[in-house]
Chains A and B, each alone.
Chain A
Amino acid sequence: MTFRDHVTVSAGNLRRMKLRTVLTSSGIVIAIAAFVAMLSFGAGSQRNIEGEFEKLGLLSLMQVSSARPGSAGDTAKAPRLDDAALERLSAVHGVELVYPYDAFSVRVEGADTIRTSKAQTLPVAALRTRLHANLLAGRLFESDTAREVLLSQDMAHDLGLGAPDSAVGRRLILSVRVSTIDSGLAHVLTGDGETLFARLRRIKLDSLMYRNYRTRVLRSEANEALRRFVGGYIGSQEVVRDTVAVAGVRESRRGGPMRGEPVAVTVRTARRFSSRGPVGGPTELFAAMSKGTLFSGSGTPIEKEYPNVSISFNPRVPYSQVRDSIQAMGFRVFSFAEQFESIQRFFLYFDVGLGVVGMIALLTASLGIVNTMVMSITERRREIGILKSLGADDIDIRRLFLVESGIIGAIGTTFGILFGWLATRVLSLIALGYLRNQGLPEMELFAMPPWLLLIALGVGIGVSVLAGTYPAGRAARVDPVQALRGE
């Protein structure tokens, strides 16, 4: 008996028992539909995340930051993430581009509107990476020395520049407040309308021989000097301006490690701002104070140290090799490729979890198949006896019932996939409507890759055939003599 004969005979038997076949298949339909919908959600989520990684080129991107010291004693050991470190990082095998994340506050003056915002410096090479390929209008900087700026869509809107296209080419004035060590020192000497000498004159020299007085005076003067220095450093900030043209408008990207600041300036503009002193608040001042470098190189700006640095590397070089080289230099490395592997692992467990839930439903449905087939054997004992008398062997009979289970499974699985797909379409429409209402970017939550369909088919039919194993074995053991006698 060929497989085709088995299918023909089995299909004929199932046609005779339409209602029973439909009811038994229904269990499989529901289970497979749930199985497909759940795995489709897992696959969709995975595709969205992987797509984002791919779109932004994150797999060949790392972020480097200074190793946070575990204790005060480690401070000296932690390497500084300064310009010299950038050069060392550029020399690491596989590294193609190194640029710091250098954000500072900036005042932006448009035609009628003034806004204070965060800005970052972006070299042209960095803008050419996929991470920054989010231009809505205009172009990237012409060069690192161009007097140009890139705005986020929201920023362009806030400045009243209208649509992205109309913002391109408009002129803006950027200004930052910079602090200098000199203004701090000058304030110590002459600040608050009282000179340092006037204060020194108030000290009772003959009382300095008393320890308590001496200590009190020293503490008081040290506090006063520091207060004056900080007051002078912060309060006497110099304003540096630069007139720039809007080269392009970028998609706004808020939050997360991939956030982009609303204003991106060229290297030239950033240097112009920082040439007079540190741009921004007292953070860098305190950092320099803690490192004991505040007065090193008097008259020069505080040496620039970056909170973190982005590294783009050759995708053909294993990320672990680049990561290890940078870690060996004493820096902390955040590798997106490594995170991607963790995400993939998570989705593997997630899919297995969803699959297990689906399998439980499927196993429950398979009990229906066992029941149907056992009933069928009881009713068809005589038929089994006839087939055996005609020459069917145990294997033929077993296969006949296994094929019947398989056909029930195939019918259930096919419709289950169809209903599962329909369910994902309905849920997807609901989700898209919700995202649209919330003003969130629209995304397809479900995916139906070929592997999912193959797994669903394999699992549906496989479990059904497995469910038919016991009844098929019973059918094969039917004694033809008793069956023909009708016992």
Chain B
Amino acid sequence: MADLPFLRIRDLCRFYGRGGHTVRALDGVTLDVQRGEFLALVGASGSGKTTLLSLLAGLDTATSGTVEVDGTLLGSLSRKELARYRAQKAGMVFQSFNLLGHYSAVQNVETALYFTGTPRSERRRRAEEVLAQVGLIDRDSHLPAHLSGGEQQRVAVARAVVKEPEILFADEPTGNLDLENATQIVELLSRLNKGGLTIVMVTHNVVLARRYAHRSVRMHYGRLAEPAEPAERGEGAVGGAER
């Protein structure tokens, strides 16, 4: 029996009612992502990338269709179970970093461990370990306001991976960064991916997507616009995009 994809998206729709009109943010997306794959979602603003990511991360609920993560249908989970899924299986990185401004870098990373049942004594040690991995151990006590954009995003990545999730959702993680920092972040994600972490990254940066992702999927008006493109780095597509 062939291995099931880690992430199975089937005919996923998300409609909003706005001003008496129905906005079709996602309109029948079907997609598989294999375990260990680095998938880039590209497309213009408003094409539904972030909406898709929110549904995959269990932050939002679909109007119809299914999302299956490692054999579990997200739609069948209660709000509490969805929270546990976000706490333990899925990590998220945002374009605007979304760090807690009143917490230091290490405290921000620790925050992710509040919801995993990690003992208090272990949280700080693990947070410092991960900060060291992203090269920020010497800035651990700094508040986000005292860090550069690139450093903040690295803290955000550290926060997303400190709980050792199975999948990482990155929503335009390079959107607020210059090229150098953007490259560093995507390289960091690529390194994590090589360590076995499945990554779905929304980005406008097609160049970085082609260079580091296994494949790219373009979205257009809530649908997948074209079949997956093989990545430049030569491993070829691990999965495939379907309509």
A and B: bona fide binding partners = yes
User: Is A325 in contact with chain B by the CB < 8 A criterion?
Assistant: no
A391 to B80, CA, bound (A): 9
Q: Interface digits, B82-104 against A, CB 8 Å rule (1 contact, 0 not)?
A: 01101110001010001110100
User: By the criterion CB–CB under 8 Å, are A382 and B98 in contact?
Assistant: yes
CB pair B115 A389 closer than 8 Å: no
| Chain B neighbourhood of A391, CB < 8 A | 83-84, 86-88, 112, 114-116, 163
A87 within 8 A of B: no
* Nearest-CB residue, chain B, relative to A485: B50
A441-475: CB near B (< 8 Å → 1, else 0) gives: 00000000000000000000000000000000000
Q: Which of A378-418 contact B (CB under 8 A)?
A: 382-383, 385-396
Which residue of chain B has the shortest Cβ distance to A16 in the bound complex?
B102
Of residues 1 through 22 on chain A, the ones whose CB sits less than 8 Å from some CB of chain B are 1-2, 4-5, 9, 12-13, 16
Using Cβ atoms and an 8 Å threshold, which residues of chain A touch B115? 1, 390-393, 396
Question: Which B residues are in CB contact (< 8 Å) with A2?
Answer: 120
Q: Chain A interface (Cβ within 8 Å of chain B)?
A: 1-2, 4-5, 9, 12-13, 16, 382-383, 385-396, 480-481, 484
B102: chain A residues at CB < 8 Å are 12-13, 16
Task: Identify which of B79, B88, B111 gathers the most chain A CB atoms within 10 Å of its CB.
Answer: B111
Known: A391-B84, A484-B98. 8 other contacts (CB 8 A): A1-B115, A9-B114, A389-B57, A390-B86, A391-B112, A391-B114, A396-B114, A481-B59
B114 touches A389 (CB 8 A): no
7 contacts between A and B (CB under 8 A): A4-B120, A5-B114, A16-B102, A390-B86, A390-B87, A393-B115, A484-B94
State A484–B171 Cα separation when bound (angstroms): 11
Chain B residues with Cβ below 8 Å from A393 are 79-80, 83-84, 115
| Bound CA–CA A382/B98 (angstroms) | 8
In the bound assembly, the distance between CA atoms of A437 and B111 in angstroms comes to 65
For residue B92, which residues in chain A have a CB less than 8 angstroms away from its CB? 389-390
A1 neighbours in B (Cβ, 8 Å): 114-115
**Which listed residue (B59, B80, B100, B114) contacts A480, Cβ 8 A?**
B59
Alpha-carbon separation in the docked complex, A206 to B116 (Å): 129
Tell me, in angstroms, the Cα distance from A7 to B112 when the chains sit together: 17
- Of A9, A382, A390, A484, which is within 8 A of B112 by CB? A390
- Evaluate contact between A389 and B111: CB separation under 8 angstroms: no
C-alpha gap A385/B86 in the complex (Å)? 12
A394–B84 Cα distance when bound, in Å, is 11
Chain A residue at smallest Cβ distance from B171: A484
C-alpha gap A395/B81 in the complex (Å)? 12
Cβ of B60: which chain A residues have Cβ within 8 Å of it? 481
A-contact 0/1 string along B11-37, CB 8 Å cutoff: 000000000000000000000000000
Seen from chain B, the residues whose Cβ lies within 8 Å of a Cβ on chain A are 54, 57, 59-60, 79-80, 83-84, 86-88, 92, 94, 98-100, 102, 111-112, 114-116, 120, 159, 163
B126 to chain A, nearest CB (A): 14
CB distance from A133 to the nearest CB of B (A): 62
CA–CA, A4 and B123, complex, Å: 14
Q: Are A390 and B120 in contact (CB under 8 A)?
A: no
CA of A389 to CA of B112, assembled, Å: 9
Most buried by A among B59, B92, B94: B59
Greatest chain A CB density within 10 A among B83, B92, B99 is at: B83
* Bound-complex Cα distance A132 to B80 (A): 72
Q: Using CB atoms, name the residue of chain A closest to B98.
A: A386
In the complex, the answer to whether B80 meets A395 with C-beta atoms within 8 Å is yes
Q: Could you say which residues of chain B place their CB within 8 Å of the CB of A394?
A: 79-80, 83
With both beta carbons as reference points, the residue of chain A lying nearest to B81 in the complex is identified as A393
Q: By the criterion CB–CB under 8 Å, are A389 and B80 in contact? A: no
Task: State the CA gap A12–B114 with chains docked (Å).
Answer: 15
Please determine whether A383 and B86 come into contact, CB atoms closer than 8 angstroms. no
Closest-CB distance, A353 to chain B (whole angstroms): 45
With contacts A4-B120, A387-B111, A481-B60 taken as known, whether A392 is within 8 angstroms of B98 at the C-beta atoms is no
Expressed in whole angstroms, the Cα–Cα distance for A386 and B163 within the complex equals 15
CA distance A396 to B80 in the complex (A): 10
* A386/B100 contact (C-beta < 8 A), A393-B80, A394-B79 known: yes
Task: Please name the residue on chain B nearest to A12 by beta carbon.
Answer: B102
Q: Which 7 A-B pairs have the closest CB atoms?
A: A391-B87, A391-B115, A393-B83, A391-B86, A1-B114, A480-B59, A481-B60
- Chain A residues closer than 8 Å to B59, beta-carbon distance: 388-389, 480-481, 484
- Inter-chain CA distance A390–B90, complex, in Å, is 9
A390 adjacent to B80 (CB under 8 Å):
no
* Chain B proximity of A348: nearest CB distance (Å): 45
A15 to chain B: closest residue by CB: B102
> Chain B contacts of A386 at CB under 8 A?
98-100
A16–B100 Cα distance when bound, in Å, is: 12
Q: What residues of A have a CB within 8 angstroms of the CB of B57 in the complex?
A: 389
Cβ–Cβ contact A390 & B79, under 8 A: no
Interface centre among A1, A16, A389, A481, by most chain B C-beta atoms within 10 angstroms, is: A389
